Amino acid sequence: MSDLQTIPARRGKAVPLKRGEAIKIVNTHGHQVVDFWSFVAGHLTEFSGMEQCRATWLKLCPEVGDHLYSNHRRPLMTLEEDTSPGRHDSVMAPCDNERYGLLGCNGYHDNCKDNMHAALFELGYSVPFTPGSLNLFMNIPWQPDGSLSFDPPLSKPGDYVVWRAEIDCIAVMSCCPQDILDINNRNTVEAHYEVLTQ
């Protein structure tokens, strides 16, 4: 009984989840990064905090069984399944229009920051800040000297993750429109999601 919904290419979606429900996020074409956030329902100043996650994970990247922690250190969600090679990124900011300016773009460029705000706004919500994102399927390897690079994706078509809500929350996803660096193979496409009940 699949009920796959589309996250359009270069756009975002926000989805309310009740505690116990889960969201399956599918990398349909295999090379699309999906920026991901979670906000506590009714209390949007509490949200997924990457720097808080890393302090408890004791690693740069989550694995199955790990929680997504809030900026108040509460577990918001649990990573229940991950069929990808497990390379997700917690250290890079969601892209924004200023970023594309620095990369040489003139004029407006679609970006994950604006997608996040637009997706929340579709549900009637507005927040005056942009939390760091967990960048699903984004391949940012780290080297022994600490250097980082924006590399092509390691995931394959149909790879997915499942995040189970530990509290009523709003999941926000953005199909990253980055078409200058290699993280989406310079081919930005749609992804899909499905809400799973318990």
Q: How far is residue 157's CA from residue 45's CA, in Å, rounded to a whole number?
A: 35
42 binds a copy of itself (CB under 8 A): no
To the nearest whole angstrom, how small is the minimum distance from the Cβ of residue 147 to a copy of itself?
A: 5
Please tell me whether residue 55 binds a copy of itself under the rule CB under 8 A: yes
Among 6, 8, 20, 56, binds a copy of itself (CB under 8 A): 56
Closest to a copy of itself by CB, 51 or 122: 51
Please report how close the Cβ of residue 132 comes to a copy of itself at its closest, in angstroms. Answer: 4
Pick out residues in 103-162 that bind a copy of itself (CB under 8 A).
Answer: 128-130, 132, 142, 144-149
Question: What's the N-to-C CA distance of the chain in angstroms?
Answer: 14
User: In angstroms, rounded to a whole number, what is the distance separating the alpha carbons of residues 25 and 10?
Assistant: 15
Closest to 26 (Cα-Cα) out of 198, 155, 183: 155
> Judged by CB under 8 A, which stretch of 14-22, 90-98, 169-177, 183-191 contacts a copy of itself?
90-98
Tell me which DSSP letter residue 190 carries: -
- The H or E element that residue 53 is part of is helix 50-57
Out of 73, 121, 152, 157, point to the residue binding a copy of itself (CB under 8 A): 73
Pairing of strands 159-165, 75-82: antiparallel
* 77, amino acid identity: M
Q: Any contact of residue 96 with a copy of itself (CB under 8 A)?
A: yes
The DSSP bridge partners found for residue 134 are 36
The residues binding a copy of itself (CB under 8 A) are 45, 49-52, 54-61, 71-74, 91-93, 96, 98-99, 101-102, 128-130, 132, 142, 144-149
